[in-house]
Structure 1
Amino acid sequence: MTELNRRPVASLWIGESLHYLNQLCLKSHLLAGHPTILYCTDDVQNAPDGVEIRPASEIMDIDMSIVDQTSASFLSNVFRYKMIKKTDAIWIDCDAFCHKPFPDEMQNIYAGHGFRGALNCGVVYIPPQGELIDMLLDYYENLPEAPPWFNKNQRRKLEKFSSDPHPVRIYKAERTAFGPQAFTYFAQQTGDYDKALSPDCLYPVPFQLNDVFYDPHGRVEGHFTENTLSVHLYTNGTKPWWRKNVPMEGSYADRMCRQVGIDPSLALK
C-alpha cells in the first residue's frame, strides 16, 4: 500500500454494502496516498482494506425517515459541509475515481459539470472557516420556506407537497436543491463561483455521456487533460444493467478495476 501521507479524503455511505464501483473509487484514493475515511450508517463489511470506517454520527445524525422519503444521497449534501467544517478533509463521492492526488496547497476544490454550467459538489473542499461554508450550513440548519432561487413552478410544487416534512417538500420540488443548486447559488453570492476549477479537473466526462465508462470502444481518456484529478463515474445515472453485471472487458471500468485490484463479480447489486 502507498504511504498515506497526503490530505485525508472522506465520504458517507448509507446502506449495508458497497458496489464494486464504490470499492474501486475508495481504493483509488488510498493508492494515491490519501487517508480515506468512510462514515457509515450501517455495519459495512466490504470496504477495501485500508479504508477507515467511522460512524456517521461522529459528524451528524442521519434521519432515516427523511432518507426513506428522499434518497440515500439527499442528506449527504448536508453531511459533506459539516464533515469539512469538523475534520478539514476533502469530500469525495463514492463514485469519484482518483486519477491523480489532490495537491496539498489547493484550497478550492470544486467544478462545474455536464453542459449546464452549474457547480457540482461531488468532489468538494472549501475552507472550513469562511463565508461560503457558513452560508451553506445556515441554509440547511434554518431552511427557508422556499430556497431563494426557486422559480414560480418550483414554489407551486412546494405547495403541492405541503403535508410532507419541509426537507422532503424541497426535495420533491427539486431533487438537487440540497446539492448542486444550493452550492451554485451560495458560491455566486459569496464570489466563490469564480474560484471553481474547470470541468476537466473533476468531471472530465459529462454526465450525459456516463455510459462511456462501460463501452470497450469508448475513448474515455480522450476527455482527460493534464489538469484532471478526479473522474466522476455517476453511478446515480448509470443504467441498472451495469450495476448488476461486471463491466465489459476493455472498458474503462474494467481496466480501472484491474489496475486497482477490485473484483467486480464480488460486489454487484
Structure 2
Amino acid sequence: MHTDSVRCLNATGFHNMVYHEWGSRDNARVLVCVHGLARNSRDFDELALALSREYRVICPDIVGRGASDWLPSGQPYDIPQYLSDMTTLLARLNVDTVDWVGTSMGGIIGICLAALSDSPIKHLVLNDIGAFVPATALQRIAEYLGDKHFQSLSDVEQYMRSTYLSFNNLTDKQWRHLAKYGSRLQSNGEYALHYDPAIAEAAKHSCSDDVDLWPFWSAIKIPQLLIWGEESDVLPEQTVRDMQANDQLELFTIPEIGHVPSLMERPQIEKVKMWLREQHRHN
C-alpha cells in the first residue's frame, strides 16, 4: 500500500485529501473505493488487497475523515464538496475511465458522478445505497454520530461492535483494525472517533428530509451491482424492487443483516471481484 494526498479546493482555501493506493501504478484498470458517512478508507484494506492484482485500487479518506484534513469552521460537509474533491482526485490519477465501489455515502457520490455526461465511471458497485433514502434512516444514523471520547482502543472497539451490527461476522482481528483506524489518539490520552465532529452536527441538521436520487440514478447507463443488506432501513425493499426495472443492474442480496455490509467478509469480497471481472470480460 502506498499513501499520497491531493490538494482540493473549498470555499475559503485548500485542504489535503489523503488516499491509499494498492497495486501497480502502471495498471490502466483503476478502481476507486469510497467509504460511508462516518467511516474511512481503511475499511477497504481487505477488498483492495484482493483486487490489487487486477486493478490499481484507490481508497480516499473523504475530507473530514481519517487522515484527510478537516474543512475550515463553517464550511459545509456536503455532496457538492465531495464531488469537487473526487473530480480533483480523478484528475490526479490521469486516467480516462474508472470503476467505482461506493458504500452508503460513497455510493451516493458515485451515483451523482456516474449520472453526469461523459462520466469516467464505467462500472458501479453500490453497497447498500440506492435511489431513495428515507429520512427515518438518516435520523437513526445521526443519533449515533457525535464527538465521542474513549479511554482505550478496547472501548472504541466495544462502541463499534455495538453500533455496526451488520458487521457481526467479523473476526476479532478485523474489529481491532476498525477500532485502530476509526479512532484518533488525542493529546489528553483519550481516543476520539476519526472524523470531524462537525460532520455529526451537519447530519443532525440535514436528516429531516428523504434523499431522492431517482433523477440521478435514472440517468446512469452503465452496469451496476447493487449489494443489499436485506434488513436495511437505508435501502428499503421497495426501492430495490423499483431499481430492478433497470436491466443493467444485478442484485446481490445478503440476508439477515441491515445497513451496511462490511465488504470485509470473504463472500462479499469474492462477489465484487467476480462481478467486476465478468464486466471486463464482456468489454
TM-score, length basis structure 1: 0.31
TM-score, length basis structure 2: 0.30
Higher normalized strand content (fraction of residues): 2
